Amino acid sequence: MKKILHLICNSHIDPVWQWDWDEGAAASLATFYAACNLLDKYDFVFCHNEVIVYEYIEKYDPALFERIKKLVEQGKWKIMGGWYCQPDCLVPSGESYMRQISLGREYFQEKFNARPTVALNFDSFGHTKGLPQILKKSGFDSYIFCRPMPSYVSIPNFKDYPHGPFLWEGYDGSRVKALRYEDLYHNYTAPYGQAKQAILRKFEQYKDLDIIPVLWGVGNHGGTSSEKDLEDIMMLQDEKKGEWTMIHSTLEDYFAQVEPNNVEKDISLFSLKHILQSMQLNLHTTN
């Protein structure tokens, strides 16, 4: 069977993390402007979440916001995730999650007529066992996250975390498809001009699977794909034509193709205890 690679282009933006909010707004404007220009020239799909960055665009560049709306209608720009922002997933209450979701749902429905079914928290810590119930009852059928990353090898039982898609069962029996996306580094994106290398590396991570997710796109704290990256991907598609089917895709399309049977309900997805233990071990190593 040919390997099917779902190429999911995105850009990770922290609206306020070690910088002022206006820097986050500037990064959002530059990133979305560049994405629109590339989408006018190349055939691919750009995916982005988080209401807050769209609010920056709507307020400071209405013309760019209208371009995005047209691209969403054309299916070239995908509203993914659908929350207000990627929250702290370690210690907040259920009410906090519900407000993230409800505010996101209202905004994306009103502005783009979009209702994502895959929730994501690429860069959030935590992932409490209460999430499957909240997600399921909020209209989500799947969840993707990146932490803990393979670099956290000191976390107890890290090797026991599920590899590939699985069914995550919550306290009340609610189940959603889930995936802890694995990569050695640059989990959700790739360095500028290195999309081809990133795809090959991420393929190795999942080469035992027939349907493979590949998160790519320049940017950690802003930035998007580049012409070089898109040209390299077209060359790689030709090189691997007999082995792989590479498609520019979305999280919804990926999860629609996978039907995991393994159920996970007694795992702790990066708890506070694990973070503290990891920090203590790193401190001991450093000292």
Backbone angles phi, psi at 144, to 5 degrees: -125, 140
Q: Would you say residue 281 has pLDDT above 50? A: no
Residues in the chain: 287
Give the H/E segment covering residue 48: strand 46-48
Q: Which residue ranges make up each domain of the chain?
A: 3-286
pLDDT the model gives residue 267: 62
**Of 3.30.390.30, 3.20.110.10, 3.90.1150.10, 3.90.330.10, which CATH number belongs to 3-286?**
3.20.110.10
Cite the beta strand spans of 131-174 per DSSP E: 142-145, 166-169
Average pLDDT of the chain to the nearest whole number: 87
Percentage of residues in the chain having pLDDT higher than 90: 61
pLDDT the model gives residue 286: 41
For 149-168, write each residue's pLDDT tens digit.
Answer: 765 555 555 566 788 999 99
pLDDT the model gives residue 16: 81
How many CB atoms are located within 10 Å of the residue 148 CB? 21
For 163-184, write each residue's pLDDT tens digit.
Answer: 899 999 999 999 999 999 988 7
For 111-138, write each residue's pLDDT tens digit.
Answer: 999 999 999 998 887 788 889 999 999 9
Q: Would you say residue 63 has pLDDT above 70? A: yes
More confident: 194 or 236:
236
Residue 157, classified by CB atoms within 10 Å of its CB into exposed (0-12), middle (13-18) or buried (19+), is exposed
Handedness of CA 122, 128, 133, 138 (dihedral sign): negative
Percentage of residues in the chain having pLDDT higher than 70: 85
Q: Scanning the structure block, which residue is given the tokens 């190593």?
A: 285
Instruction: Report the SS3 class of residue 49.
Output: coil
